[in-house]
Chains A and B, each alone.
Chain A
C-alpha cells in the first residue's frame, strides 16, 4: 500500500508515545542514574563513572550467567522451532478437529508463569511426581534439586512444553494462508513432499518463522519466573540465568550500582541482537 506523507499523524501516535515514554524513559533514566553513581543510603549520590560497568564486564559471575543464558536460549530455539514447524505441517488443514487442536495447544500459553513453574516443580519430584517417578523407574538416577544436568533437562522440557505451541500457532497460520493453487501446480509437476516443503512451504513461511524466532529469542532470553519457581537458580548456580542474577543483585543484595550497570548491558545485548535480526529481515523483504 502506498502511504501518504502526513506529519499530523503524530497526533494519533501521541497517546502511545506519552504512555510508553512515561513507562519506559523515566525508569530507564533511573537505571542510568544508578549505574553511574554510588550511594551510601540517605539519598546521597556520588559520581562513580564507568566503574560499575567495568566491574560487571570483568566479573566472572556475569560471564557465567551470560554463557548459561546463551546456551539455554540456543537449545530452546533449536528444539522449539523445528518441532513447532513439524507439528504445524502434520496438523489437519480443515475440519472440526482444527479448533480442538488449537484450543488444547494454546492452553500452556495461558497459564501464569509461576503456575507453570510449580506444576513442573511438583511433577518432577522424584518420589511423588509423575515425571520424576517415571524417569527413576527407568533406572536413571534423576533428581533435579541435586544434579545440574537433571535441572537443565527439566527446565528445557518445561520450556518446550510451555512455548512450542506459539511456534505451532504461527507456522499453522502461515501454512493455511498458502493458496491451494501452489499445491496443485506442484502436483502437476509431480513434486515430491520434500520439494513441496523446500520450495513452496518454507519460503512462504519465512515471515512467520522470523516472528516466531524473534519472539522466542526475546522471551527465552528474559526468562525469570518459571526458573525461580522450579529450581531457584540452583543446584548451586547451575541455572542462574541473567534475569535471576540481576534480581539477586538488585533485590537480594541491594547492590544498585552493579544491578543498574548489568541491566543496561543486558538490555543492550537483547536490543542489539533483535535489531540485527529485524534489519536483516527487512532487507530481505525489500529486495
Chain B
C-alpha cells in the first residue's frame, strides 16, 4: 500500500456512492424515500423485490431483455468470426473501405435509426419480438465484435494455420477444432462487449417493442410514469439490472482490458 493507491481508492468510493444510494432506496418504502433524507432504511423492507419477483410484467421484462441480449451476442459472434478471420489473414478487394464502413455503423446515432427501424421491422413482421431488438443491436455490435476479434486473430501467428493444413486438416475442421479454441479469450471479450452494449441500450429496445416483448428498460420507464413514481420499486428494479452485468464481468475480468488494446482501430 503506497501513497498513490489512494487515487484509485477515492475513485472507487466515488463510483460506489450512487450504487449505495440505489441499494439504500431499494430497501425503503416509497413513502420513506419521499419523506426525507436518511442514509439508512429505517423500516427495512423487501416488498419492492417481492413485487418484481411475483408480477409477470416485471420478471417477464427481465426475461425479454435477457433473450434479446443473448440472441444478439450469439448472432454477432457467429457472423463476426469468419469476417474477422478474413480481415486478419487476407487482403481483398475493398477490404480497408469495408472495414471503415463497418466501423462507421458504430458511429451512427441510434436516434437517427429509430424511425426507419420501426418501419423496417414492422414491414418484415418482426416488430415487438426479441428478434427485432437483437437484429437492430447488431448494427453497432457486429462492427465492434469484428474489430475486437480481428485484433486477437492478428496476434495468432499464421504458422498455426499452415501447420494445420500440412497435417491434413480441412478449413472448417481447422477453424472449429484449433483456431476457435486458440482465440477463446478474444471471443470472451467480444461477447462481453456485445452483451454490455446490448444490455444498456434503451432507445431502440423501447421503441421496437410494445407489449409482448417489452424489455426491462421500457418496463421501468412506464411504471415510473403511470403509478406516480414508485421510487422504491424503481430502485429495486435498477439493482436487479446490475446483477447480470456483474456476473459476466467477473468471468472475463482478466481479459476485458486486453480486448481493445490488441485491436487495431
- Seen from chain A, the residues whose Cβ lies within 8 Å of a Cβ on chain B are 1, 3-10, 12-13, 15-17, 19-20, 22-24, 26-28, 30-31, 86-87, 90-92, 99, 101-115, 118-120, 122-123, 127-130, 133, 161, 164-165, 168-170, 172-174, 176-177, 207-208, 210-212, 214, 218, 221-222, 224-225, 229, 242-244, 246-247, 250-251, 256, 259, 263, 266-267, 270-271, 274-275, 278, 281-282
Shortest distance in angstroms between A115's beta carbon and chain B's nearest beta carbon? 4
User: Is B15 in contact with A251, judged by CB distance below 8 angstroms?
Assistant: no
Q: How far is the CA of A176 from the CA of B238 in the complex (A)?
A: 34
Q: Are A102 and B202 in contact (CB under 8 A)?
A: no
A-B contact pairs, 27 of them (CB 8 A): A3-B89, A15-B79, A19-B138, A19-B142, A20-B143, A24-B139, A87-B7, A90-B6, A92-B5, A99-B254, A103-B246, A107-B19, A107-B245, A107-B249, A110-B199, A111-B200, A115-B238, A122-B25, A169-B260, A207-B265, A211-B263, A221-B109, A224-B111, A267-B108, A274-B104, A275-B100, A278-B265
20 additional contacts (CB under 8 A) given A111-B200, A270-B109: A5-B91, A13-B98, A17-B98, A19-B79, A28-B116, A109-B196, A110-B246, A115-B220, A123-B18, A161-B15, A173-B258, A218-B106, A225-B203, A243-B110, A247-B111, A247-B114, A251-B114, A263-B112, A267-B112, A278-B265
- Interchain CB contact under 8 A, B12 and A105: yes
Task: Tell whether B52 is near chain A: CB-to-CB under 8 Å.
Answer: no
Q: Once the chains are docked, how many angstroms separate the CA of A30 from the CA of B196?
A: 29
B146 cross-chain contacts in A, Cβ below 8 A: 16
A-B contact count (CB 8 A): 283
Q: Evaluate contact between A133 and B37: CB separation under 8 angstroms.
A: yes
Please name the residue on chain A nearest to B155 by beta carbon. Answer: A1
- In the complex, are the beta carbons of A104 and B15 less than 8 A apart? yes
A9 to B82, CA, bound (A): 9
Which residues in A have their C-beta under 8 angstroms from that of B104?
A: 271, 274-275
Question: Once the chains bind, are B111 and A222 in contact (CB under 8 Å)?
Answer: yes
Complex interface: chain B residues within 8 A of A278 (CB): 100, 103, 265
CB distance from B134 to the nearest CB of A (A): 11
Q: Which of A161, A168, A243 contacts B111 (CB 8 A)?
A: A243
CA–CA, A216 to B161, complex, Å? 36
| Contact residues on B (Cβ < 8 Å of other chain), bracket | 35 or more
Q: For the complex formed, measure the closest distance between the CB of A99 and the CB atoms of chain B, giving whole angstroms.
A: 5
Q: Which of B130-167 contact A (CB under 8 A)?
A: 135-136, 138-139, 142-143, 146, 154, 157-158
Question: Chain B interface (Cβ within 8 Å of chain A)?
Answer: 4-8, 11-12, 14-19, 21-22, 25, 33-37, 39, 75, 78-80, 82-83, 85-93, 95, 98, 100, 102-117, 119-120, 135-136, 138-139, 142-143, 146, 154, 157-158, 196, 199-203, 216-217, 220-221, 224, 231, 234-235, 237-238, 241-242, 244-246, 248-250, 253-254, 256-261, 263, 265
- Chain A residue with the shortest CB-CB distance to B124: A22
On whether the beta carbons of B113 and A27 are closer than 8 Å, the reply is yes
Q: Give CA–CA (A177, B104) in the complex, Å.
A: 28
- 5 shortest A-B CB distances, which residue pairs? A110-B245, A27-B116, A173-B257, A12-B86, A173-B261
Which B residues are in CB contact (< 8 Å) with A161? 14-15, 18
A275 CB contacts on chain B under 8 angstroms: 100, 104
Alpha-carbon separation in the docked complex, A222 to B203 (Å): 11
Contacts of B139 in A (CB 8 A): 20, 23-24
